[in-house]
Structure 1
Amino acid sequence: MKKIYLLSIILFPLLLTNSVNAHDKTHNDTSNSPMYTGLDSDAGIIAKQFHKALSEANAETVMSLLADDVLILEGSRIERSADEYRAHHLQADMQFSSAVTTKTIEHHVRVHGNTAVSISRSHTSGNYNGRDIDRTGNETLFLTLINGQWKISHIHWSH
């Protein structure tokens, strides 16, 4: 059962196409919609805080929400720790996220004991570095309860 669950977490973003980095500036959490579930959970709140911190270019908050050994996959790139992410792509991700408008299309957070998964789709538009952006993106966050605090231990951005 665990293997099937983990496989579904990994494969879900691959099933959706035409995507871009889902750093979300305008998280639409419509509590009555079946397209938005689990966002009021503690793990869901962390996912929303992460997106807000990226769009506000708040590096300190972004880093505080990541597990030290976070694994981040985006395109053909991989970062294997929070320190590596800080050194390589954090600044660019914050610049991108603060330059464009991102609206959440769908967001689900499911908590399973000391782990949680956040799966979202979003639409991003605007201009970044002279390029017009108008794409739909997918994001999977895997969160782990570490010393009583939810931390993001895996991120997969599809674009």
Structure 2
Amino acid sequence: MTRQGIRLLVMASLLTTAPAAAVAQDSHARAVVGMSLEAQEAAKVVDAFHAALANGDGAAAAALLAVDALIFESGHAERSRAEYASHHAGADAAYAAAVPSKLTQRSGFAEGSAAWIVSESRATGNYKDKPVDRVTTETMILRKTAEGWRIVHIHWSSRAAT
């Protein structure tokens, strides 16, 4: 991980004590409450990433990652956009296209060229002929670049819904 990436991770851990805002989602629209405009812009990239996966387009999702992105999921790590694109982007897109996910809560913060967005969601449906009902927590750290916000870190964790 680059020095910039480490600084973003440290900043995100320090900023988790900052006031957070929740996002509620119904089936038609999201209401963002209390997030700064800068954080809302970063959150749009998170939403675009998920929309690309839900449309089955792993390549479009990967394009929103920084070249040096670090992705943690289920105890595994992918250490670049290229590694994610060649390993899990396709499977993540197939899963997201088959199993709808509903955002239940979101908060975030942005300052300068760094932002963090944390989300909670619930995915229900069927995948590979098996029922799915999972609650997911997600942390994304983003960096503002000349091309706009790019995701530099993702950490996903999920469990069976109770």
Q: Smaller-chain TM-score range?
A: 0.7 to 0.9
Structure with more relative contact order (C-alpha pairs < 8 Å, separation 6 or more): 1
C-alpha distance in structure 2 between counterparts of 1:80 and 1:108, whole Å: 25
* Contact 1:75/1:158, CA 8 A, preserved across alignment: yes
1:140 counterpart letter in structure 2: T
Distance 1:144 1:88, change over 3 A: same
Q: Provide the residue aligned with 1:134 in structure 2.
A: 133
**3-state SS of 2:30 partner:** coil
Instruction: Please say if 1:59 is aligned against 2:65.
Output: no
Q: Provide the residue aligned with 2:82 in structure 1.
A: 83
Distance 1:3 1:74, change over 3 A: closer
- Unaligned regions of 5+ residues in structure 1, if any? 11-25
2:127 counterpart letter in structure 1: Y
Deviations 1:86-110 (A, max 9, x none): 1111111000000011101001221
2:50 counterpart letter in structure 1: H
| Aligned alpha-carbon RMSD (Å) | 2.5
**3-state SS of 1:41 partner:** helix
Deviations 1:14-61 (A, max 9, x none): xxxxxxxxxxxx785113x56xx4587221111111110110012332
Q: Provide the residue aligned with 2:72 in structure 1.
A: 73
Q: Provide the residue aligned with 2:92 in structure 1.
A: 93
1:49 counterpart letter in structure 2: A
**3-state SS of 1:30 partner:** strand
* Contact 1:38/1:44, CA 8 A, preserved across alignment: no
